Amino acid sequence: MTPVVTEKYRPFVATSMTDLHVTVDGRDLEAVWTDDAPETRVALEDALPAAGEATRWGDELYFDLALDVPLENASAVVPEGSIAYWPAGGKLCLFWGPTPASEDSEPRAAAPVTVIARVTDTEPLADLEDGARVRLERTDV
């Protein structure tokens, strides 16, 4: 029997290598790539380093980033710590808790997004303000 993946639940699969570093207003965070969106991952890797002044929407930050990719394995409900791309809006998003679109305490995007990585510790994000500076870059592993 094949498991059914619903919008509410999509299993999180990460690569074993931590080769993505995220800085949010001076807070250093490690992240791991997921295996669910190879085309988007390559596009983001090619764009690194990437940075922007983020807008806060609930427990989500997002900033402008133009990548020429379609949605891959898209979902509106995402795991806590997700780094996701929204092609229709050209935004890179970081989720760590509920947003105004959430139905419960799950992180939920306003529209389906492509999850490409996941921050391993979201606790440092709890007290962020609107306008936080976000930077993603490769780490040497």
pLDDT score recorded for residue 139: 85
Task: Give the pLDDT confidence of 12-22 residue by residue, as tens digits.
Answer: 344 434 489 99
DSSP secondary structure of 24-59: ETTEEEEEEEBSS-HHHHHHHHHH-SEEEEPEE-SS
User: Is this model's pTM higher than 0.75 or not?
Assistant: yes
Please check whether residue 107 lies inside any domain of the structure.
yes
User: For position 15, what pLDDT does the model report?
Assistant: 40
Q: Partners of 62 in the beta sheet? A: 55, 93
Strands 133-138 and 20-24: antiparallel
* Structural domain that includes position 74: 20-138
pLDDT of residue 19: 85
User: Rounded to whole angstroms, how far apart are CA atoms 30 and 139?
Assistant: 9
- Could you give the CA distance from residue 76 to residue 1 in angstroms, rounded to a whole number? 25
Total domain count for the chain? 1
Decide if 4 is inside a domain.
Answer: no
The confidence score (pLDDT) of residue 96 equals: 97
pLDDT for residue 141 = 54
- The per-residue pLDDT for 16 is 38
Q: What is the CATH number of the domain that holds 31?
A: 2.40.100.20
Q: Which two tokens stand for residue 25?
A: 């207003």
| List of the chain residues with pLDDT < 70 | 1-18, 140-141
